[in-house]
Structure 1
Amino acid sequence: MTQAGTAFAPLIVVAAALIDADGRVLVQQRPADKSMAGLWEFPGGKIEPDESPEAALVRELQEELGIETQTSCLAPAGFASEPLGEQHLLLLLYICRKWRGIPQALEASAIRWIRPIGLHDLPMPPADKPLIGLLDALI
Structure 2
Amino acid sequence: MQEPSQVQRPLVPVAVGVLVRADGSFLLASRPAGKPYAGYWEFPGGKIEQGETLLQALARELREELGITHVQASYWRSCVMDYPHARVELQFCKVTQWEGDLRPCEGQALSWERLPVRVTPVLPGTLPVLQWLAEERDQTGARRLTLD
Deviation at residue 49 of structure 1 after TM alignment? 1.0
Read off the aligned partner of 1:30 and give its amino acid letter. R
Read off the aligned partner of 1:5 and give its amino acid letter. Q
Deviation at residue 78 of structure 1 after TM alignment? 0.9
Deviation at residue 76 of structure 1 after TM alignment? 1.5
- For 2:135 and 2:43, the matched residues in 1 are separated by 17
Distance 1:93 1:120, change over 3 A: farther
Matched, 1:15 2:16: yes
3-state SS of 2:22 partner: coil
- For 1:101 and 1:114, the matched residues in 2 are separated by 20
- For 2:109 and 2:11, the matched residues in 1 are separated by 29
Aligned 1:103-122 pairs, distance under 5 A: 103-115=102-114, 117-119=115-117, 122=120
- For 1:69 and 1:137, the matched residues in 2 are separated by 29
The gaps in structure 1 that reach 5 residues or longer are none
Give the TM-score taking structure 2 as reference length.
Answer: 0.82
Aligned 1:10-89 pairs, distance under 5 A: 10-70=11-71, 73-85=72-84, 87-89=86-88
CA contact (8 A) 1:30 1:37 kept: yes
User: What percentage of residue pairs aligned between the two structures are identical?
Assistant: 32
Deviation at residue 107 of structure 1 after TM alignment? 1.1
CA contact (8 A) 1:27 1:40 kept: yes
The gaps in structure 2 that reach 5 residues or longer are 138-148
Q: Which has the higher contact order (CA 8 A, sep 6+)?
A: 1
Read off the aligned partner of 1:118 and give its amino acid letter. P
Aligned length in residues: 135
CA contact (8 A) 2:20 2:96 kept: yes
- For 2:107 and 2:26, the matched residues in 1 are separated by 16
Deviation at residue 136 of structure 1 after TM alignment? 2.8
Give the TM-score taking structure 1 as reference length.
Answer: 0.87
